[in-house]
Amino acid sequence: QAKMQGKDRYVVFSNEYKKRNNRYVKLERDLHYALEREQLELYYQPIYNLQTDEVTGFEALIRWNHPDYGLIKPTEFIPITEETGLIIPIGKWIMEEACSKLLILQEELNNNTLTISINVSPIQLLNPSIYDQIVDVIDQTGIRPELISLEITESVVIDEFKHSEALLERIKRLGMKIYVDDFGTGYSSLGYLYQLPLDLIKIDQSFVMMCNEDIKKKKMLKTILNLANEFKMEVIGEGVEKIEEFIELKTLGCKQIQGYYISKPKPINELKQMLAELKLKNEKRTKAV
């Protein structure tokens, strides 16, 4: 009987595996048309300044509105775009879309200092056309490059150090900012921190989560904040979900945060309302303190 059960379980597992595999194959096929069928959409998550209690900009986060599967997260389909090379045209679209939508937002919100942060994949950075793509986007949209930051992950800089260094220097000369995403995870080498022209460290959520209770995390946060300070880099704390984490980061002197506590990433047409609600929430919190 046990054997039977074991066999059954195997069958179930196998079907599940096939289903997932099928999904992958389908997604891979459908991704080729996603751009032209206008199924890709950028959501925007506010970046919040703890000293001024203001939203200073947004991070663009991609979503795929799939006709059968519904909304698909980037963690599932960005790897497929990287394997197929589709990240190159899609990456260009992301930059164009994010920059042109920022200009619309600035006008709507009557604030021309708002910034946009764009995630770039390692594959994009290694593609010879990336620099020209960036220059094209700036020319086409007329956006001030100072308002754009590119978010890169540590692995890029480690694997192709010399190439990345030269490219990032050129991008910086345009006026754009370079952020290190998910700092403290993955390949952790401190060597690149002082050798590359980095403007800002995004502290990974793993250090932020429960930092109010966990003394070790608090110490890690202090250390990262000191490090950033020594190297004249700014900091954003990622994934702030609770008021206790918000208060802890503020107390530690972290100037900027992102996270569900402020707002989830939203489609562009929901940003105005979100900002209005945020203002009310701020007023309540300030009164309570």
Binding site for ligand C2E (CB under 6 A): 45, 60-62, 73-75, 78, 94, 119-121, 151, 181-182, 239-241, 258-260, 265
Q: Identify the CA nearest to 240 among candidates 266, 204, 214, 276.
A: 204
CB of 115 to Mg ion, least distance (A): 13
CB atoms inside a 10 Å sphere around CB 236: 25
- Which of Mg ion, ligand C2E, none is residue 73 near (CB under 5 to 8 Å by kind)? ligand C2E
CB of 119 to ligand C2E, least distance (A): 4
CB of 135 to Mg ion, least distance (A): 22
Going by their DSSP bridges, the two strands 200-203 and 234-237 should be labelled as: parallel
Contacting Mg ion within 227-246 (CB under 5 A): 238
Choose, by CB under 5 A, the member of 182, 184, 208, 249 that binds Mg ion.
Answer: 182
CB atoms inside a 10 Å sphere around CB 47: 22
Residue 149 binding Mg ion, by CB under 5 A? no
Residue 30 binding Mg ion, by CB under 5 A? no
Q: Identify the CA nearest to 227 among candidates 206, 248, 198, 247.
A: 198
CB of 182 to Mg ion, least distance (A): 4
CA distance 157 to 136: 24
Q: Given the complex with Mg ion, which of 30 and 238 has the nearer CB atom?
A: 238
Contact 258, 49 (CB under 8 A): no
CB of 230 to ligand C2E, least distance (A): 24
- Which of ligand C2E, Mg ion, none is residue 152 near (CB under 5 to 8 Å by kind)? none
Q: Given the complex with ligand C2E, which of 194 and 260 has the nearer CB atom?
A: 260
Q: Which of 23-31, 42-50, 116-124, 245-253 is the region at the interface with Mg ion (rule: CB under 5 A)?
A: 116-124
Contact 117, 179 (CB under 8 A): yes
The residues with which 236 forms a beta bridge, in sequence order, are 202, 256
CB of 94 to ligand C2E, least distance (A): 5
* Alpha carbon distances (Å) from 176 to 138, 151, 164, 220, 221: 10, 11, 15, 29, 26
